[in-house]
């Protein structure tokens, strides 16, 4: 009888320990998005790379938009956007709460990034310390615009992801025509 109690206690401890070691969100699945692109020719893929969700957009025309609605899973903590464009004259990240807009100058030695937030009653410029600042990188051997190869990688701000709810939209223009 003594061994039965000890054996049962050990098994119960092992069971409880295995349950406790699972993260709270272990049951959550990867996020799945319903994607609606304005242009049928734009190719948009949702990728999982190094535990990050990556939205990969190829837009041959260079002007477009896409909306994203989370249909299952949870909104990721980190969300990267890759825009395969020649330039980035205008970019907008839109939710029901706010719009973050960015512009990357072209034709200059140094690519200057200007960003602003558009809210219901106000529009204002922001700096890199602002919680809605978009981290924009040029991923290419030759960082000269127009890009011959490579892409613009934009890290969506955590503040934006938290406040966006289950949907957001992106708009892009490579060059004003």
Domain boundaries, the chain: 29-173
Structure token pair of residue 37: 């692109």
Residues in the chain with pLDDT < 50? 3-16, 18-27, 109
Measure the CA–CA gap between 117 and 98, rounded to whole angstroms.
Answer: 7
Is the CB of residue 137 less than 8 Å from the CB of residue 153?
Answer: yes
Residues 116-160 pLDDT 10s: 999 878 899 999 999 999 999 999 998 888 899 999 999 999 999
98, 117 Cβ separation under 8 angstroms = yes
- What pLDDT does residue 11 have? 39
Two tokens, residue 35? 């994607």
């Amino acid at each position: 009888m003594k061994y039965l109690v000890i054996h049962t206690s050990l098994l119960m401890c092992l069971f409880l320990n295995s349950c406790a070691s699972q993260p709270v969100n272990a049951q959550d699945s990867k996020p799945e998005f319903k994607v609606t692109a304005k242009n049928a020719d734009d190719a948009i893929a949702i990728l999982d790379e190094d535990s990050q969700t990556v939205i990969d957009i190829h837009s041959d025309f260079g002007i477009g938009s896409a909306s994203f609605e989370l249909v299952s899973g949870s909104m990721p903590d980190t969300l990267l956007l890759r825009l395969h464009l020649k330039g980035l004259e205008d970019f907008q990240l839109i939710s029901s709460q706010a719009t973050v807009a960015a512009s990357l100058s072209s034709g200059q030695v140094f690519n200057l990034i200007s960003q602003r937030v558009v809210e219901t009653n106000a529009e204002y410029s922001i700096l890199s310390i602002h919680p809605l600042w978009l981290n924009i990188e040029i991923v290419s051997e030759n960082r000269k615009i127009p890009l011959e190869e490579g892409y613009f990688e934009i890290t969506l701000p955590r503040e934006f992801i938290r406040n966006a709810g289950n949907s957001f939209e992106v708009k892009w223009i490579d060059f004003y025509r």
